[in-house]
Structure 1
Amino acid sequence: MFKNYFKIALRNLVKHKVYSLINIFGLSVGLASCILILLHVTDEYSYDNFHEKGDRIYRMALERKYPDHSINYAIVPHSFADVMHDDFPEIEAITRVGGNNANATTVFRYDDNGEMKIFEETGFLLADSNFFKVFDFPLIKGNIDEALLKPNSMVITASSAQKYFGDDDPLQKVISTDFGDFTITGVCEDVPQNSHLKFDFIGSWNTFPFAQNINYIAFSMAIYTVLHEGASPEELEAKFPQMVETYAASQIEQRLGVSFKDYTAAGNGYNYFLQPLRDIHLKSHLEAEFEPNGNITYVYIFISIAVFILVIACINFMNLATSRSSERAKEVGVRKVMGSERRQLISQFLIESILISTISLILALVIIQLALPSFNNLANKELSFNLFANATIVPALLIFTLVVGLLAGSYPAFVLSGFNPVTVMKGKLISSAKGAWLRNGLVVFQFFISIVLIAGSLLIYSQMEFIRNKSLGYNKDHVLVIQRPGALAESGDAFDKEVMNLPNIKKVGRASTMPGAASAFFFGIQFQPEGSSEVLTTKGMVMDDHFAETINFEMIDGRSFSEDFEDSLSIILNESAVKALGVKDPIGAKLVNTNNFGGQQQVITYTIIGIVKDFNFQSLRDEISPLVIMHPGENTPVNFGFIAVKVGPQDIEQTLAAIEDKWNQIAPEEPFKYTFFDEDLAANYRSEQNSGKIFGIFTVLAIVIACIGLFGLAAYTAQQRTKEIGVRKALGASVFNVVLLLSKEFTKLILIALVIAIPLAWYGADKWLQSFAYRVDINITIFIIAGLSAIIISWLTVSYHAFKAAMVNPIKSLKYE
């Protein structure tokens, strides 16, 4: 029996090639899109799942409360790790991790038998000696208990060992870095891509003297805790406020000269909390993350798109099968007269459906293999699809195919098998109102989804354009950013002057960080207005006498730093800092800072010399907060991290070559590394841009699939109204009138879909935009464009059948059936 069903199904597919190809194409594209999205989503959810203790590992994070705002940090004072293990019985183990973020570079040197190999590396971290006991990064060589135990010891990954030492044994080899010499004491397997902690080199934290300092205030390291089985993270979090009072309060009082009670009463505070390790990648977007994380919102969006695309593809199958109902009706009638039972007919149609879904799956697998490289490039991933990588993949795909086939074929099977043989054999097939409502409802649902996706794509594009074109308060164009100026040592000033003398160079300035870039770091600093007990906590950066002119900061009062003045104790505030101070005449006002930058406590008085117009020194996701700009000197907490060079728009390549030549003359053994400022800023939003592109591609695919279904339904409608069209043409209706007649029915359905889609799309857009402090307004125009796009697409889809029906001779139409 099954063999017979299969033969008939195959014959029907071959006999009706066009409909079969349309069905298979729509379903295969839908399946391929769905599987690609599921690969992406599965990868996002897989982050940090490979750690055996992953369900008990938590990262300690901080909500730093200021009087007028709060900021969440992924790094905390390192000394808490020393006391938490002893004070809290819930903790089984605790380890600290710190070092470069994803964009910071460190120069590594290795003397290979007299030949100096020099590399720039980004994956350099520091950790406690128990790091490899907490996290599952298996050691290939070395002792897990001793690998990071001694100062200046380092573990490297297998690929780094091959890169530096080839087939030689790397153990006990010495690598020189910007932070000193390290001895290789271990080799671990390469870090999986689905880890939020990525590194190529990991050095011992106790290498640095700073590790021995007792610090309960300054944020320096990420702290990870392993809780005992059954321990409650909520109960541990509840003990953190007392921990702050016990250990941090005295340091705060000593540093600021105010009581901890008054300090917190003014609105300051340290709220520590725990983040589950496996939530970090998708749910954590704090200051000082090791790398830009994913976003759970996008995961939910992509899951929804996958479901929608698959449902649209299944709806197409139903509509296309329904559009052929009159052709299949006589077959059903004959089979029923010959004694076929309804369940046999249902089985026949379901097997046809499953056969189509199976062929579609095979084609979808081909599409996936062809599309995966481009998808990986777009999503910045290394996804792979191997049918035999896991024993569950093939059975899962077979079950998936069966479910899709049953879902897509269920409605046609039950409807077609239910035709009355007497009515059918008389040549009369009357479509029920219930069937019409269902078909129309399916079209509304398809275009409801399409309109939501079109509106979403337009909104993402608008927000990205807004970010690209928004005035940030400085000029990002034609600014070259040179990294690691410290490599020039004492010749740095000479390099700046040499570069300034080159043709096509406008300005050269230095700063501790570049505003708005993904790698931007602003230190925290606290001031008290002279004679006041109020504490102003701000972000801080350092710049020289020329940086403000280099990127065009706008001074609205006072002056910038200048070589004509002694500015080592001068500071510049942004408008937000002035507002937070509440000072009416800030120029000339004194601010007192108590610090221990030099290892001992100092009280330093600074003078405000200028006010800079508020600029977006962080990303557009964040509100502009108070900022203090300091002049370089022994009292500043950080050194210059970047040289900014304003170049002319012409002869960029020649200018770059000339600057690199000057660098090589002064520091021939140091790599010359640069970026362009506008590209650095764009990198801050690459995740949103990539997600927007993926969203747009799958939106187009969803619309294409929806149009396939509409194409089939238009054919069905034209067929059902053949006699009506003939009568109308005989009475003088034009081709345009007939086309309009068939098109307006679908236009009504799309307008209904538009009305339903607007509230949902508006809600989703508002939720997404809330992640940006600066964003576009949601405009009804977006939804009008989305609706018009859907209408135009539907007209183009329907017009073929409408025009074809209108061009038929009315005599033939009236003879129909």
Structure 2
Amino acid sequence: MLNNWLKIAFINYKKNWLSTLINLFGLTIGLTGFMLILMHWNDEESYEQWNPKKNTIYAFQQYNKKDNTYGPSISYPIADRAAKVIPEIKDYILFSGAGKGFKMTTQNKTVYQKDGMAVSENFFNFFPFKLVSGSFKDALKNENAIALSTKAAKSLFGKTNVAGENIKFDQKNYIVTAVYELPEGNTVIKPEFVMLAYEQLKNDKEGWGNFNYGCFFMLDKDADIEAVQEKLMKDVFIYRAKINAQGAGVTPQKYLELYGPQGSLLTPLGQMKLHGKAYWFGTGDFKTMMILFALSVLIVILSAINFINLKTAQASQRAKEIGVRKAIGSTKSELVLQFLLETFIICFTSYILSLALAELLLPSFNKFFDKKIIMNDWRIYVYSLTMILAVTVISGLIPAIYLANFKAIETLKGNFARSRHGIWLRNGILTLQLIISSFFIIGGLIVNSQVKYMMNKDLGYSGKQIFLVSFSENSPQPWLKYERVKNEMKKIKGVDDVSFGEAVAGSYRYSNSNMDYMG
């Protein structure tokens, strides 16, 4: 029986080769998009999973009730008091910079080393990188201590066993206390060097309103997160308002309304990349991810609807076949199974083709999203195969039931076309297909219009005529060096003007303080 079903299936594929190709093409494109978005989603969820302490480390985000927004910054005294008065908080870490760069000098060479971080001294308690040289114990206790990644150590010294070596930069001498290897897993916290934010922490020790830091808290594994957030409000934020309100000339309640925070959110380290409200290292966009995923599912549904429509449109060609099979004893369930098998063959072939197409498109996809995704996650195959089975059932069952319901006598007489059975269902499916197609067409036109506007909008300058030079100078009067550099650069032929900024426009950098002037 199975052999007979397969023969009939391939005869019909060959007979209706154009509709077969259309079904294969539509399902392959839809499944390929579904796979790529699923891989992108899984990749975003995999950040910081390498860290064995990820379930006890929580990122702090402050809440501004007035604007209904979250911010990733905190002040040193707020973090310190929270650790002292809230029993569930066992430790905390502050970091003030990401992507720092310095011109570093060793005994043999001078190298501009970038991608550093300035942190508090317990950094390696939170991020236990693999130790290569030196020791993590007291690695950042001293203001002149620095820890290097293996890549930075090789760049500066040509080797990794460099604990105890000296480096000079920022007008100071530093001693390498540890060399570590960055994790292979996905992470946004991957500093090439780590140093103690000594001067900044010293200056901000009493600065309740200097929100210059990102913060992670380490909590008990059984801590009630909502309870900790309530204690932050009651024992830290309100406490800060009480001790600062008098100097500001307002009531504690008014101070809290003006300067906040009016609440907080603690998100596990492993969820921050994609689900965090505000992240010091750049927050992922879960909303966009869900939109892309929903669109990929819609494309698969559209392909399935197209399959249903083409199958039911071929009803006249298979009516007599169905009539004969019923006349010789085939049951309705046997006919349904036969049509489901034919659908599964098409869907499974599309699945194989989509795997190959996804592999071909992956390099371009990785380049676009700046990722290194490979198809080695078993969940991709399981989820996409589940989608295939769902499409098989949805797109195969409806036309199968429709065709199996033909009456043998009427179809053998050629009167099946006059039956109006199932017309409402076909019309409903066609309407749904039209709505989804219209959605994609209208959406495509809108996006094209938006992109065209952005590409042609006059920005007031030409990006091709602006050259960015990294300028880092922490001397007491950095503007003096800048003025000298500016004057020399303006002498270069073709340089029209020179300007300076603390941060690159468009880059994420968080720091804020309170200031009042004349009320």
* TM-score between the two structures when normalised by the length of structure 2: 0.85
Partner secondary structure for residue 76 of structure 2:
coil
Residue 91 of structure 1, aligned match among 85, 89, 92: 89
Distance 1:108 1:4, change over 3 A: farther
- Could you tell me whether the CA contact under 8 Å between 1:38 and 1:306 is conserved in 2? no
Do structure 1's residue 118 and structure 2's residue 108 form an aligned pair? no
The more displaced of 163-172 and 411-420 is 163-172
Do structure 1's residue 46 and structure 2's residue 40 form an aligned pair? no
Distance across 2 between alignment mates of 1:408 and 1:140: 57
Distance across 2 between alignment mates of 1:501 and 1:159: 37
Do structure 1's residue 133 and structure 2's residue 131 form an aligned pair? no
- Could you tell me whether the CA contact under 8 Å between 1:60 and 1:224 is conserved in 2? yes
Do structure 1's residue 436 and structure 2's residue 431 form an aligned pair? no
Which residue in 2 is equivalent to 1:329?
A: 319
> RMSD between aligned alpha carbons?
3.5
Amino acid at match of 2:487: K
Q: Structure 1, residues 714-742: CA drift from partner, whole Å, max 9, x if none? A: xxxxxxxxxxxxxxxxxxxxxxxxxxxxx
Which residue in 2 is equivalent to 1:517?
A: 506
Distance 1:178 1:384, change over 3 A: farther
Distance across 2 between alignment mates of 1:417 and 1:378: 47
Which residue in 2 is equivalent to 1:753?
A: none
Structure 1 position 369, deviation (Å): 0.8
Distance 1:56 1:16, change over 3 A: same
Distance across 1 between alignment mates of 2:352 and 2:253: 70
Distance across 2 between alignment mates of 1:148 and 1:236: 28
Which residue in 2 is equivalent to 1:698?
A: none
Structure 1 position 362, deviation (Å): 0.8
Structure 1 position 496, deviation (Å): 2.2
Mapping 1:638-657, distance limit 5 Å: none
Do structure 1's residue 275 and structure 2's residue 266 form an aligned pair? yes
Which residue in 2 is equivalent to 1:313?
A: 303
Amino acid at match of 2:506: A
Partner secondary structure for residue 270 of structure 1:
coil
Mapping 1:159-198, distance limit 5 Å: 159-166=151-158, 168-178=160-170, 180-191=172-183, 194-198=186-190
Do structure 1's residue 341 and structure 2's residue 331 form an aligned pair? yes
Do structure 1's residue 526 and structure 2's residue 515 form an aligned pair? yes
Which residue in 2 is equivalent to 1:416?
A: 403
Distance across 1 between alignment mates of 2:168 and 2:244: 36
Which residue in 1 is equivalent to 2:343?
A: 353
- Could you tell me whether the CA contact under 8 Å between 1:55 and 1:276 is conserved in 2? no
Distance 1:187 1:438, change over 3 A: farther
Structure 1 position 268, deviation (Å): 3.6
Q: Percent identity between the aligned chains?
A: 26
- Could you tell me whether the CA contact under 8 Å between 2:133 and 2:162 is conserved in 1? no
Distance across 2 between alignment mates of 1:275 and 1:468: 39
Structure 1 position 522, deviation (Å): 7.1
Distance 1:433 1:129, change over 3 A: farther
Q: Who wins on radius of gyration, i.e. which is larger?
A: 1
Amino acid at match of 1:365: L
Q: Structure 1, residues 750-773: CA drift from partner, whole Å, max 9, x if none? A: xxxxxxxxxxxxxxxxxxxxxxxx
Give the unaligned 5+ runs of structure 1: 535-817
Amino acid at match of 1:119: Y
Distance 1:408 1:500, change over 3 A: same
Amino acid at match of 2:101: T
Which residue in 2 is equivalent to 1:21?
A: 21
Which residue in 1 is equivalent to 2:237?
A: 244
Distance 1:458 1:135, change over 3 A: farther
Residue 199 of structure 1, aligned match among 182, 185, 191: 191
Amino acid at match of 1:243: V
Mapping 1:496-511, distance limit 5 Å: 496-511=486-501
Distance across 2 between alignment mates of 1:402 and 1:414: 17
Distance across 2 between alignment mates of 1:266 and 1:361: 56
Q: Structure 1, residues 433-462: CA drift from partner, whole Å, max 9, x if none? A: 453322232222223223323333444455
Partner secondary structure for residue 95 of structure 1:
strand
Mapping 1:244-263, distance limit 5 Å: 244-247=237-240, 249-250=242-243, 258=249, 261=252
- Could you tell me whether the CA contact under 8 Å between 2:486 and 2:498 is conserved in 1? yes
Partner secondary structure for residue 340 of structure 2:
helix
Structure 1 position 480, deviation (Å): 4.3
Partner secondary structure for residue 515 of structure 2:
strand
Amino acid at match of 2:392: G
Distance across 2 between alignment mates of 1:522 and 1:146: 28
- Could you tell me whether the CA contact under 8 Å between 1:57 and 1:227 is conserved in 2? yes
Distance 1:489 1:297, change over 3 A: closer
Amino acid at match of 2:359: Q
Partner secondary structure for residue 109 of structure 1:
strand
Partner secondary structure for residue 60 of structure 1:
strand
Distance 1:65 1:345, change over 3 A: closer
- Could you tell me whether the CA contact under 8 Å between 1:108 and 1:175 is conserved in 2? no
Q: Structure 1, residues 651-670: CA drift from partner, whole Å, max 9, x if none? A: xxxxxxxxxxxxxxxxxxxx
Amino acid at match of 1:43: D
Distance 1:454 1:82, change over 3 A: same
Q: Structure 1, residues 337-384: CA drift from partner, whole Å, max 9, x if none? A: 222222222221111111111111111111001111111222232221
The more displaced of 217-226 and 148-157 is 148-157
Distance 1:164 1:24, change over 3 A: farther
Amino acid at match of 2:266: Q
Distance across 2 between alignment mates of 1:149 and 1:22: 67
Q: Structure 1, residues 287-322: CA drift from partner, whole Å, max 9, x if none? A: xx4333221211121121121111111111111111
Which residue in 1 is equivalent to 2:35?
A: 35
Do structure 1's residue 298 and structure 2's residue 288 form an aligned pair? yes
Distance 1:512 1:108, change over 3 A: closer
- Equivalent pairs counted in the alignment come to 513
Which residue in 2 is equivalent to 1:613?
A: none
Residue 101 of structure 2, aligned match among 106, 119, 123: 106
- Could you tell me whether the CA contact under 8 Å between 1:65 and 1:267 is conserved in 2? no
Structure 1 position 189, deviation (Å): 3.9
Structure 1 position 239, deviation (Å): 2.5
Partner secondary structure for residue 273 of structure 1:
strand
Partner secondary structure for residue 441 of structure 1:
helix
* TM-score between the two structures when normalised by the length of structure 1: 0.56
Structure 1 position 518, deviation (Å): 2.5
Which residue in 1 is equivalent to 2:443?
A: 456
Distance across 2 between alignment mates of 1:17 and 1:70: 57
Do structure 1's residue 218 and structure 2's residue 205 form an aligned pair? no
Distance across 2 between alignment mates of 1:163 and 1:449: 55
Partner secondary structure for residue 383 of structure 1:
coil
Distance across 2 between alignment mates of 1:266 and 1:247: 12
Structure 1 position 253, deviation (Å): 5.0
Partner secondary structure for residue 443 of structure 1:
helix
Q: Structure 1, residues 456-499: CA drift from partner, whole Å, max 9, x if none? A: 34444555566667788x76765544331639885543332333
Give the unaligned 5+ runs of structure 2: none
Which residue in 2 is equivalent to 1:76?
A: 74
Amino acid at match of 1:528: Y
- Could you tell me whether the CA contact under 8 Å between 2:76 and 2:205 is conserved in 1? no
Do structure 1's residue 407 and structure 2's residue 394 form an aligned pair? yes
Distance across 2 between alignment mates of 1:340 and 1:171: 81
Distance across 2 between alignment mates of 1:229 and 1:494: 55
Amino acid at match of 2:261: Y
Amino acid at match of 1:339: G
Structure 1 position 213, deviation (Å): 3.2
Do structure 1's residue 62 and structure 2's residue 28 form an aligned pair? no
- Could you tell me whether the CA contact under 8 Å between 2:241 and 2:252 is conserved in 1? no
